Amino acid sequence: CTLNCKYCSNYISQLEDKNRKHLSFENFKVQLDNLLKNIYKLNSLIIVGGEPLLNPDFNKILQYSLSQKKVENVYIFINGTLIFRPEDIEILKRYRKKVCIFLSNYSSNEKVLPLLKNNKIKELLNKNKIKYIYNEKTYWVKQDPIISYGRTADENSMLFCKCGVPSVSVVDGFLHVCPKAAAAQSNGIINFDSEDRLDLHNPISKEDIISFYSNSRYKICGHCAGPEATRYIIFPAEQV
């Protein structure tokens, strides 16, 4: 990432240097293909980092994602510090009906303000009629630490039933039930079992997907504060 935010929602700032790496197009293609072969459609594919525009294979990943008929929508989350390259814009224009850019807003943080190119990015996207969402919120919600909360298995099952996380996350080729689980893997906080994640490095079956989604709880649930925990409003993009 171009930033090193203390309270990053993906816990990027906690990553050791050895775990800060790009996803290659070759690995991305294998993982997406293994998933798409076993589903009817993918409503939303979200490309997030770190900062996706840093990836040297971003152009290939973008093109391949948008060209898949089973993928209905592609969202790209960027932090506003980098400009899309001309070749990226051409792809975005070609698939403008199914792509949308989510542009973060850290403008209330004077320390990172000199790095932000939000106005130039919006001008470029408007000029090329590419959809985007500019986050008007100028605050963050503090992320809870990924630690064991000492609950019983039944309590974790109840917590999972109340969970409002609407998406799964893929990191290092493993599909997890939520972004926090993916972050726990990246940071080496939890040793996940096979029932807690899907390995997309290798072919999977529909039965594997059904089994994954049939869990009443996941290991990450025991390391999550839960949806009813107190949330604290904090200053955005505070740097480590």
For 32-178, strand residue ranges (E) read: 42-47, 71-78, 99-103, 132-134, 140-141, 169-171, 174-176
Encoding tokens for residue 222? 């025991």
Of 117-126, 138-147, 197-206, the one with minimum mean pLDDT is 138-147
DSSP, res 102: E
Q: What is the pTM of this model?
A: 0.93
- Which pLDDT belongs to residue 135? 83
Cα distance between residue 1 and residue 235, in whole Å? 19
Contact status, residue 23 vs residue 29, Cβ threshold 8 Å: no
Mean of pLDDT values over 98-113: 95
Torsion angle in degrees (nearest 10) through CA of 31, 32, 38, 41: 160
In tens, the pLDDT along 111-142 reads 999 999 999 999 999 999 999 999 887 889 88
Please tell me the distance from the alpha carbon of residue 228 to that of residue 49, in angstroms, as a whole number: 27
Is-contact 57 24, C-beta < 8 A?
A: yes
The residues pairing with 102 across neighbouring beta strands, listed in sequence order, are: 77, 133
CB atoms within 10 A of CB 181: 28
Structure confidence at residue 163 (pLDDT): 87
Residue with tokens 């939890």: 190
Nearest to 49 by CA among 176, 173, 183: 183
Identify the helix (H) or strand (E) that includes residue 101: strand 99-103
Q: Is the pLDDT of residue 166 over 90?
A: no
Across the chain, mean pLDDT equals 93
* C-alpha dist (Å) from residue 103 to 11, 143, 153, 172: 19, 20, 39, 24
pLDDT at 172: 93
Q: How far apart are CA 62 and CA 186, in angstroms?
A: 23
Average pLDDT over residues 79-96: 97
Q: What is the pLDDT of residues 10-69, one digit of tens each?
A: 888 888 877 788 999 999 999 999 999 999 999 999 999 889 999 999 999 999 999 999
